[in-house]
Amino acid sequence: MIIIRKMHPDVDRFLEKEIRWKDELMALREIILVSGLTEDYKWKQPCYTHEGVNILIIGSLKASCMLSFFKGVLLADHDQLLEFAGENSQSAKLMRFRSTDEILRMKNKILGFIRESIALETMGAKIPKGSAPEIPVPDELMDLWKKDKTFDRAFHMLTPGRQRAYLMHFTAAKQSETRMSRIQKYMPRIMDGKGINDCTCGLSKKMPACDGSHRMK
């Protein structure tokens, strides 16, 4: 039986404003909704979940649109269709598309990845520790987590790649005072569910990454 989930009004508005890849994103949306995932809107992106767990997001890049799986590193990608979402990403992997025809040709592959992602979540699959060195959590950050549980939850709801990028920035400071200053500076961004390099003004053409468009206002 085909299950088509309810469309989220914020995603409707997101697509109405999209210029570059509107048709392609609408095609992706249709495929994803048929898969049975629940549509949501997070980080100013269409986000799709299974029983409240983030499975994938879709969005617009400069040279393509994309579909990104939060735990893409666990997927069986025999045809090497997935690539890491960024240099600091340890788990998320994405597919890039440049036409609706390409998306329709890949429909079965997309649905296969979605079904596998749901199965992995049902089994409780975890991201294995990669070859990248573990980044220590600074004492200043752990102290703030103990004092502010809301901030603690917000940080750990970020994707692993976003968490890693913040930790790299915080631990790069040699002085405790500087580390605390950096953490406090980025607390509002973390509370909003955004990564250190994510767009906060909504003007970027490379969402969710910042491309400096805010400087041209």
Cα(193)–Cα(172) distance, rounded to whole angstroms? 22
pLDDT of residue 131: 47
The model's pLDDT over 169-180, given as tens digits with 9 standing for 90+, comes to 998 888 999 999
> 98: helix, coil or strand?
coil
Burial label for 70, CB within 10 Å (0-12, 13-18, 19+), is buried
Rounded mean pLDDT of 79-107?
Answer: 86
List strand residue ranges (DSSP E) for the chain, in order. Answer: 38-42, 45-50, 53-60, 65-69, 83-84, 93-97
Query: Would you state the pLDDT for residue 206?
Result: 56
Mapping DSSP onto H, E and C, the string for 51-74 reads CCEEEEEEEECCCCEEEEECCHHH
Q: How far is CA 61 from CA 4, 55, 152, 161, 179, in A?
A: 27, 19, 30, 18, 32
Question: Contact, 92 vs 85, CB < 8 A?
Answer: yes
- Predicted local distance difference test score (pLDDT) of residue 133: 52
Q: Which of 10-14, 36-40, 134-138, 181-185 has the lowest mean pLDDT?
A: 134-138
Percentage of residues in the chain having pLDDT higher than 90: 55
What separation in angstroms does the CA of 16 have from each of 21, 121, 208?
Answer: 11, 32, 17
**Separation of first and last alpha carbons in the chain:** 49
Q: With bands split at pLDDT 50, 70 and 90, how would you rate the model's confidence at 147?
A: very high
Better pLDDT: 76 or 22? 22
C-alpha Rg value of the chain to the nearest Å: 18
55: number of Cβ within 10 Å: 22
Per-residue pLDDT band for 200 (boundaries 50, 70, 90) equals low
The per-residue pLDDT for range 133-142, each reduced to its tens digit, is 567 889 999 9
Confidence of residue 53 (pLDDT cuts 50, 70, 90): very high
Q: Is the pLDDT of residue 159 over 90?
A: no
Q: Count other C-beta atoms under 10 Å from residue 69's C-beta.
A: 26
Cβ contacts of 54 within 8 Å, gap of 6 or more:
42, 47, 48, 70
Domains defined along the chain, listed by start = 9-123 (3.90.1150.200), 133-217 (no CATH)
Pick the more confident residue, 204 or 162.
Answer: 162
- Confidence label for 1 from pLDDT (cuts 50, 70 and 90): very low
Q: Quick one: pLDDT band at residue 125, thresholds 50, 70, 90? A: confident
Q: How is residue 94 written in tokens?
A: 């994405």
Please check whether residue 158 is in contact with residue 170, taking contact to mean a CB–CB distance below 8 angstroms: no
Is the pLDDT at 104 greater than 90? The verdict is yes
